[in-house]
Amino acid sequence: MTHPNPSVALAEVVVDELIRGGVTRFTVSPGSRSAALARAAQEHPGAEMTVLFDERSAAYFAMGAARAGGVPAAVITTSGTAVANLYPGVVEAAAAGVPLILVTADRPPELRETGANQTVDQLKLFGETVRWFWEAGPAEDRPESNAYWRASTARAVAEARGWEGRPGPVHLNLNFREPTAPVSDDGRSAAESFSSATEGRPGGRPWITALRAPEPDLSFLEEVQQAQRGVVVVGEGAEGSAVFAHLAEQLGWPLVAEALSGARRPPGISSYHHLLAAFPEALKPDLALCFGKTGLSTSLAAVLSDPSVTQVVAGAPGRWADPDRAVTHMTTGPAPAVARALLDRVREGKRAPEWLGMWQEAESACRAVVDDILDYDDLPSEPRTARDLAALPLDTLVVGSSLPIREVEMFAHTTPARVLGNRGASGIDGLVSTALGAAWARPGRVACLSGDLALLHDSNGFLVDERPSCVLVVVNNDGGGIFNFLPHARHPHFEKLFGTPHGRDFEALAAFHGLGYRRLVRASELAPAVETGLDEGGVWLVEVRTYREETERLHRRIAEETARSLKPILGR
């Protein structure tokens, strides 16, 4: 590799080493100081690159690509406030365990605290939120520079993948002196040249291959073996649904699969929120095997937090997964690996008579009641929209935080194999970009369920230069529907402070961004509208108009009628 100057050499070596480590997707936000990085990504034959000028959206777009693609993705920005705009995405990636690589350009150290333009202190700007930080220092034409740059970049990839802990974001802060253009003399700064060798390992290999193959700790195996009333709970990050179903079958326990697990399908229990809300004591287990990040259902969380329940957690994406101080055993390692190790060693459990059958009978009764209520007429509702969208034959479904993910959690009987959501820190920001990033990394039948505020919050995400095909279903209840379920609903200034009605026209928004658009009048129009968008390609917006007060009343009615139907089964 030959380079016209040190800054270009640093940029090209870092990009090349990232690609050697499997990081091939780059989201670039334009800027002068990062020009060498952007050009390196654009010109490298192994890179896929897209451009999005809003750095906050760019971070979420890259995170969506990392979630869907299963490998780290990189975002490149210039210096200054551009870097600070990455912070919301960094927080989400850290909490959710998403391997996101932040490659930020910076001014050289001698310009810090001098009043130089677009110069802020980027040194460890994200603090302990990132898994690892590296500042390269100004590039110099030295024989040892190549090994330093490549070894550090290879470590960044390993840290993002979680080779000695949890996956998550890493920050590479690269100091660039002028010139950053591919010339030795740009006519406005001191001429620089670069002649040192910068070749990587032969055969396209990374500079360092970090290996991690820990054996799961199964010190809790005997307690699993002795439990009679157990449950297998599968949450976000626990990919590989078949192994969890096999484990539950071997133990004779019900499989409780949260929506984000991608494992929600028969013979699993999908109505557990309603079952546990109505009759928690009847269904309280003596042991729960929890894989991935769980806790979407408040009724399930309440039961598992009971001190009498032995709770084993494996493969949670955060650094520690015990919000209720109720976990009794926590083991590291990917959730599927722990499940497979258990499956290899566990014998048929000491199941209690009729334990699994009671769950299955209650599930059948509850589903029948919920479906009867939702299908009574053809008026669109938030629960029915969630149920029907999740039932479509999609490759990927991205679900917004706040009320949309809860609707899917409570009412979807089955879900696609891949369900994604930003539930690490559970913010509503970045949803559009996450969905489009997922569709970019893993093209196919991709849809997104969004609330109206979340879509408005990240509408800049539609400005990505090459939009992949994706259908976004926006439930427009003119405000923050989740607050109608909380004590805030009785606040005298509820609408102004919490309801926050906006009155925006989504058809006009779609026209402004050049999106396909359809507004539903009947609930049964959802599937045809989504199919049309998927068949025609591009980005489509399907609007479902609902009313917050009606949604809250519908939820209350469903809770009352399901509890009544379950009493003969669980109330005896």
| Structure tokens given for 433 | 């970009």
Together in a domain, 10 and 146: yes
Does residue 40 form part of some domain? yes
pLDDT: is 362 or 333 the higher one?
Answer: 362
Together in a domain, 98 and 237: no
The CATH number given to whatever domain includes residue 263 is 3.40.50.1220
Together in a domain, 263 and 153: no
Q: Which of 424, 409, 461, 419 is nearest to 298 (CA)?
A: 409
Does residue 205 form part of some domain? no
Together in a domain, 353 and 476: no
314-324 average pLDDT score? 79
Together in a domain, 329 and 386: no
> Which DSSP symbol is given to 268?
S
User: pTM here?
Assistant: 0.93
Together in a domain, 18 and 141: yes
Does residue 211 form part of some domain? no
pLDDT at 387: 97
| Structure tokens given for 422 | 């930003």
- Alpha carbon distance 270, 267 (integer Å): 9
Cβ atoms of 22 and 47 within 8 Å: the answer is: no
The total of other beta-carbon atoms located within 10 Å of residue 49's CB is: 20
Share of the chain above pLDDT 70, in %: 97
Together in a domain, 485 and 456: yes
Angle between helices 403-411 and 382-390 (to 10 degrees): 70
Does residue 214 form part of some domain? no
Q: Could you read off the pLDDT of 425-451 as tens digits, one per residue?
A: 888 999 999 999 999 999 999 999 999
Together in a domain, 394 and 301: no
Together in a domain, 230 and 115: no
Does residue 317 form part of some domain? yes
Q: Could you read off the pLDDT of 137-183 as tens digits, one per residue?
A: 999 999 999 999 999 999 999 999 998 778 999 999 999 998 888 87
Does residue 213 form part of some domain? no
- Residue 560 contacts by C-beta under 8 Å, 6 or more apart in sequence? none
For all residues of the chain together, what is the average pLDDT? 92
> Which DSSP symbol is given to 250?
H
| Structure tokens given for 561 | 């009628």
The CATH number given to whatever domain includes residue 457 is 3.40.50.970
Using the predicted structure, report yes or no on whether residue 535 has a pLDDT greater than 80. Answer: yes
Together in a domain, 481 and 446: yes
Domain count within the chain: 3
Does residue 201 form part of some domain? no
Together in a domain, 145 and 112: yes
pLDDT band of 322, cuts 50, 70, 90: confident
Question: End of a domain among 363, 392, 412?
Answer: 363
Helix or strand (DSSP H, E) at 447:
strand 446-451
Beta bridge partners of 542: 473, 518
Taken in order 118, 122, 125, 130, the sign of the CA dihedral is positive
Question: End of a domain among 363, 385, 417?
Answer: 363
Please, what is the end-to-end C-alpha distance for the chain in angstroms? 76
Q: What is 155-167 written as a DSSP string? A: HHHHHHHTTTS--
> Containing domain of residue 293, as a range?
221-363
Does residue 460 form part of some domain? yes
Residue type present at position 10: L
Together in a domain, 395 and 357: no
97-119 average pLDDT score? 91
Cβ atoms of 390 and 259 within 8 Å: the answer is: yes
- Alpha carbon distance 188, 161 (integer Å): 41
- Alpha carbon distance 305, 316 (integer Å): 16
Q: How far is CA 198 from the centre of its chain?
A: 36
> In this structure, which long-range contacts are made by residues 223-227, counting pairs with CB atoms below 8 Å and at least 24 apart in sequence?
223/287, 223/310, 223/312, 223/329, 224/251, 224/287, 224/289, 224/312, 224/342, 224/346, 224/349, 225/346, 225/347, 225/349, 225/350, 226/350, 227/285, 227/286, 227/287, 227/310, 227/349, 227/350
Q: Could you read off the pLDDT of 70-105 as tens digits, one per residue?
A: 999 999 999 999 999 999 999 999 999 999 999 999
